[in-house]
Structure 1
Amino acid sequence: MAILLGVPTVSQAQSNPGFSFIWGGDGPSQKSPANYVLEYGTPGHLNDRYRLKVQPQSAPVESITITFPDYYDGKFRASNIRLIQPAKSRKGKTTVIPLKAVKLSQDRRQVQIIPETPIPAKIQFAADFSKVVNPSEARTYRIYASITSPGDILLNRKAAVWNLKISEQ
């Protein structure tokens, strides 16, 4: 007879779940979820931080639009959203990317973030949401990001998909 014992662990931050199924789609953002970090990640938490990472793009980024699902009932403010460039090493500093505008569209469940100048190609960056009131329900929320690049014709293309998991701890 064998007895299995588990030891609970306490965690202050969670990151991208290690296992998920993605069917279909085109482009790298559909085939593997993008990385993210949540400071707490528990339902109804009143002061969470989301860091949604975007892989380096092949063209400059003029704007990024993040779309939340209709069942996401979390809350955040435009003034608490910024773009950052992560530190290159553990001891390095995170760089804040200056913004021209952050536009919230409650009815379309979208956030459009426009940097002062386009983010150069091949630069990794992240959307940083602070003081987030988490959704009331523990579940996985599929969040999409699309970007536009400068030029004569605005090309809006998928950049990332995050399977954001809010869970009871």
Structure 2
Amino acid sequence: MLKIQTAQKLFPILALAGCLVAVAPLVTRADSLPGFTLFSGVDPSNQLSYRLDSGYRNTTDRYSLKLPGSKINRLGAAQIQITYPDYYKGKFDDKAIEVFAGGKSIPVESVEWNRENQTIQIDLAKRLKTKGEIEVVLNNVQNPDGGGMYYFTCQVKSSAEFPVA
């Protein structure tokens, strides 16, 4: 009789522990995927793929923004411009921005963070001709104090001669 009572007490504890173990991977990966969109009016094929290292408010973070090769025109990329909403109160380190293509680092000529217009303009050292994915990594980002949903947009321009976004 004693063994049955002990088993009845342990069963709810084991069931709860099993549920926590099953949910833990979902919680840790919550900010590493684009997630899902219910009502935004944004075509899913035009959504910017991203990954945040922490995603916690008021912490230093790293944002990885992935631009699919299918969205880059045949002339290539010479400039990348990122815009964000005026209610985003985070801070960027314009000296810690990197660009990668095919897993290789791409030289950056200059980065200009315009706080008034909420833009980050990245000029590449030379025009990048690629059909593959381009990844922009924003290091040392100071996340905003409050949580929220922020729509970042990205435009890739081929060159100053052909300013096609």
**Unaligned stretches of 5+ in structure 1?**
88-94, 158-169
Supply the distance in 2 between the matched residues of 1:154 and 1:133 (Cα, whole angstroms): 31
Matching residue of 2:114: 105
How large is the Cα RMSD of the aligned pairs? 2.5
Q: Show CA shifts across 1:135-167 (max 9, x none).
A: 111111100011211374411x3xxxxxxxxxx
Matching residue of 1:128: 137
Supply the distance in 1 between the matched residues of 2:100 and 2:144 (Cα, whole angstroms): 24
1:52 aligns with 2:61: no
AA matched with 1:15? S
1:118 aligns with 2:127: yes
Matching residue of 1:41: 55
Aligned length: 142
- Residue 85 of structure 1 deviates from its aligned partner by 2.4
The correspondence of residues 13-28 of structure 1 with structure 2, limited to 5 A, is 14-21=31-38, 22-23=40-41, 28=45
- Residue 118 of structure 1 deviates from its aligned partner by 1.0
TM-score in terms of structure 2 length? 0.76
Supply the distance in 1 between the matched residues of 2:82 and 2:93 (Cα, whole angstroms): 14
Summarize the Cα distance change of 1:136–1:118 in structure 2 as closer, same or farther, 3 Å threshold. Answer: same
Which has the larger share of strand?
1
Runs ≥4 residues deviating over 3 A: 3-6
**8 Å Cα contact 1:61/1:120 also seen in 2:** yes
**8 Å Cα contact 1:13/1:40 also seen in 2:** no
TM-score in terms of structure 1 length? 0.74
Supply the distance in 1 between the matched residues of 2:143 and 2:42 (Cα, whole angstroms): 29
**8 Å Cα contact 2:34/2:51 also seen in 1:** no
Which has the larger share of helix?
2
Q: Show CA shifts across 1:52-72 (max 9, x none).
A: 111111320110100010010
Q: Percent identity?
A: 26
Supply the distance in 1 between the matched residues of 2:30 and 2:127 (Cα, whole angstroms): 30
**Unaligned stretches of 5+ in structure 2?**
1-11
Supply the distance in 2 between the matched residues of 1:151 and 1:126 (Cα, whole angstroms): 21
Supply the distance in 2 between the matched residues of 1:44 and 1:123 (Cα, whole angstroms): 34
